[in-house]
Amino acid sequence: MAQIKKSSSRILGIDPGTNILGFAVIEVERDKIDVLEIGVLHLKDKGEHTDKLKEIFLEIQEIIERYLPQELAIEAPFFGKNVQSMLKLGRAQGVAMAAGMTMGLTITEYSPKKVKQSVTGNGNAAKEQVADMLCRMLNIEPGKFALDATDALSVAVCHHYQAGRPVSSKKGGWGKFLKENPDRVKWAVGSWQLAVGSWQLAVKCFSSKNILLYKN
């Protein structure tokens, strides 16, 4: 179990998905962000949809137990034409949120546009642009992690920004980064809202053998 410094805070960022779920844990101390872990959960071969939901719940709880974050930030599902895909994505997000809530974390939801705006200054930025900005900011090797993982990292960083905690990169600080990239960084500090979406399915009970899901 990880030890948390009294002066730091930890945020778990999640990019929900039913085939691939991205996650990232960051530690913020004063004006610096450290990436503790970043990766993805591969769920495509986990069987039925309920099996995938169970895997998400258990894996997220394991990550929480390992790093002890105080907050969970998650990206809201985007609206698409495929209703069934939207429902499945909403369930995956709800299960991830439930995993965090049962572990005592505060939960905050951000729209994809808000995340992109916070990290790159452009709410319509491509995933590759978001990943590139994060690599520059946090001294991460470009192309090392899947885009789903860097998306999760961007959600965690967005939450940090919205909580009013400016950050520096590892290479000389945030002020230096701003000077070197004046046209690429634009973010605003504001009050953040706790928003938990209302989904058609909510997690009622998890056990080692099954998942029971109930409609609202």
Catalytic positions, please? 15, 75, 148
The enclosing H or E element of 106 equals: strand 106-110
Beta bridge partners of 212: 205
Largest CA distance in the chain: 54
Tokens of 132: 């590139």
Q: Please state, in angstroms and rounded to a whole number, the distance separating the CA atoms of residues 202 and 186.
A: 37
Q: In whole angstroms, give the CA distance from residue 144 to residue 48.
A: 30
CA-based R_g, the chain, Å:
17
Measured over the CA atoms of residue 165, residue 171, residue 176 and residue 182, the dihedral's sign is negative
Identify which of 114, 119, 115, 109 has the alpha carbon closest to the alpha carbon of residue 187.
119
Helix (H, G, I), strand (E, B) or coil at 78: coil
190/54 Cα distance (integer angstroms): 35
Q: Is 113 helix (H, G, I), strand (E, B) or coil?
A: helix
| Look-up of token digits 């599902």 | 77
